[in-house]
């Protein structure tokens, strides 16, 4: 579904991503793991059209995406749930969710809104409250719901469990798995390598802007290099 080939991305003179390549198969959960500053978030921002690559290509369902702006990438079927959630905190829950569907019209938007409220009952119960009044975990659920409202074919998560309590972390991971089981392909960046690779069908290790290892998630968990670097 998604192919990233020899990607290079720079912030001015600083090359944050130097040679990242990976693929995401339809119906998979694929995780990118690595240390802080390895280039994982930059990679997702480039896939979603927020950054332009210096070199390399991004193909989605065989079509080149690396030259497209973010709204066109979203229209093609790729949604991005960003690190830090990036909600509009003075707007209500429902207003934030509807923003996720701003490229869509018709009855299906209301159906998807009902689906989000069914998946996350707390959002339905507090739909008229401002997002800024929510806890970090509740805001993460709202950010996921907003991304779901685009009805993406590929949903990208950037550090979805960062800073959350253990019980909320498990809910987020269960939600990611449920979305995959319902037909949404998942690409996830996650600092918690143990949780990510346990969940993933396939994983890639990014180190200093380069893809260094890849394989099924369980195989990477057992790799002594991964265990030494990321699992202690």
Using the 8-state DSSP alphabet, how is residue 50 labeled? Answer: S
Q: What is the mean pLDDT of residues 142-165?
A: 92
Question: pLDDT tens across 44-59, in order?
Answer: 999 999 999 999 999 9
Q: Are 81 and 117 in contact (CB under 8 A)?
A: no
Q: What is the mean pLDDT of residues 112-131?
A: 94
Q: Does the pLDDT at position 85 exceed 90?
A: no
Q: Does the pLDDT at position 84 exceed 80?
A: no
| Alpha-helical segments (H) within the chain | 40-47, 70-76, 93-99, 107-119, 121-125, 136-148, 166-181, 193-199, 217-222, 224-230
Q: What is the mean pLDDT of residues 82-93?
A: 89
Q: Does the pLDDT at position 231 exceed 80?
A: no
Q: Does the pLDDT at position 232 exceed 80?
A: no
Residues 6+ apart with CB under 8 A from 94: 113, 127, 128
Alpha carbons 44 and 222: distance in angstroms, whole number = 26
Which domains, and CATH codes, for the chain? 2-77+153-230 (3.40.50.300), 88-151 (no CATH)
CA atoms within 13 A on the CB side of 153: 12
Q: Tell me what pLDDT residue 164 has.
A: 86
What is the residue-averaged pLDDT of the chain? 92
Q: Tell me what pLDDT residue 230 has.
A: 79
Q: What is the mean pLDDT of residues 124-152?
A: 93
Q: What is the pTM of this model?
A: 0.91
């Amino acid at each position: 579904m998604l192919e990233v080939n020899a990607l290079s991305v720079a912030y001015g003179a600083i090359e944050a991503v130097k040679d990242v390549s990976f693929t995401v198969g339809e119906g998979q959960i694929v995780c990118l793991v690595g240390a802080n500053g390895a280039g994982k978030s930059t990679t997702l921002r480039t896939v979603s059209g927020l950054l332009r690559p210096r070199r390399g290509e991004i193909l989605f369902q065989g079509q080149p995406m690396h030259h497209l702006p973010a709204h066109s990438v979203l229209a093609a079927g790729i949604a991005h749930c960003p690190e830090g959630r990036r909600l509009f905190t003075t707007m209500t829950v429902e207003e934030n969710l509807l923003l996720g569907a701003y490229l869509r019209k018709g009855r299906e938007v209301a159906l998807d809104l009902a689906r989000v409220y069914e998946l996350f009952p707390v959002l339905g119960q507090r739909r008229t409250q401002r997002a800024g009044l929510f806890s970090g975990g509740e805001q993460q659920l709202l950010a996921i719901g907003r991304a779901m409202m685009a009805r993406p074919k590929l949903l990208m998560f950037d550090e979805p469990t960062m800073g959350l309590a253990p019980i909320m972390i498990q809910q987020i991971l269960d939600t990611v798995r449920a979305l995959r089981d319902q037909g949404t392909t998942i690409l996830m960046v996650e600092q918690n390598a143990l949780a990510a690779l346990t969940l993933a069908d396939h994983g890639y290790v990014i180190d200093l802007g380069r893809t260094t290892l890849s394989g099924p998630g369980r195989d990477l968990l057992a790799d002594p290099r991964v265990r030494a670097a990321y699992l202690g």
